[in-house]
Amino acid sequence: MNTNKTFLVSGISIFAVLASIFVVYLIANQNPDSSDSQKTESSQISVAFENNSVANSSAVQSTNTISSVSNSSVVATTKYKNGTYKADIKYTSPAGSESMKMELVIADDQISSINLEAEAENSTSIGHQNRFKSAINSQVVGKKIDELSLSRVAGASLTTGGFNNTLNSIKQTAQY
């Protein structure tokens, strides 16, 4: 009886390992969105098995964050696709509709660079956009994209609000 139980546990352990490897293989070989040539996909997936026991074996969720419980774990190391993302920051000021062009580079879930082009025509709005443009690099470059929560950059609260909305759109686009 004990030999049969050991054989059964070993068989289930091998099946769990193979199933986990298969899930990792499927996730690692997903095709990136071929319609956007500027996005690149870079991810590393690691698998760790602490022991051969299958007690509390896990069900792997194939969502953006891969997780499991108990004795084995599958972890996606990045949440966002590396790449360059271009967008228009749009917001409303007392002078009317305003916009700025933004180019944002994401690498390993961090913002590695940002370039802005001010497009305001009103002198007050031009001043706010230029101050925002001068100060934004120190606020976002090198920071984890999910940790950003800006309220006012260089006194430009409306521009910052437009930036936050645009950043959320980019996050949705860049998310695995």
Per-10-residue mean pLDDT, the chain, length 176: 60 60 55 39 34 34 30 61 95 94 96 96 95 96 93 94 95 93
User: Domain boundary residue among 58, 76, 94?
Assistant: 76
Structure confidence at residue 63 (pLDDT): 27
Q: How many Å is the Cα radius of gyration of the chain?
A: 23
> Among 17, 45, 76, where does a domain finish?
76
Res 21: pLDDT: 61
pLDDT of residue 35: 39
According to the model, what pLDDT value does residue 78 have? Answer: 79
Tell me, yes or no, whether 167 and 90 share the same domain.
Answer: yes
- What is the rounded CA–CA span in Å between residue 59 and residue 52? 16
Do 72 and 91 have their domain in common? no
- Which two tokens mark 118? 């001010």
Q: Which of 55, 76, 97 is the last residue of a domain?
A: 76
113: containing domain: 83-174
* Pair 94, 166 in one domain: yes
Whether 63 and 95 map to the same domain: the answer is no
Angle between helices 157-174 and 123-140 in degrees, nearest 10: 50
Same domain, 88 and 170: yes
Claim to verify: residue 112 and residue 169 sit in the same structural domain: yes
Burial class of residue 133 in the structure, from the number of CB atoms within 10 Å of its CB (0-12 exposed, 13-18 middle, 19+ buried): buried
Asked whether residue 71 falls in the same domain as residue 94, the answer is no
Q: What is the pTM of this model?
A: 0.57
Q: Are residues 121 and 170 in the same domain?
A: yes
Q: Specify the number of domains making up the chain.
A: 2
pLDDT at 19: 56
Asked if 133 and 106 sit in the same domain, the reply is: yes
> Both 167 and 102 in a single domain?
yes
pLDDT for the residue numbered 137: 95
Residues 138, 92 within the same domain: yes
| CA 171, chain centre distance (Å) | 6
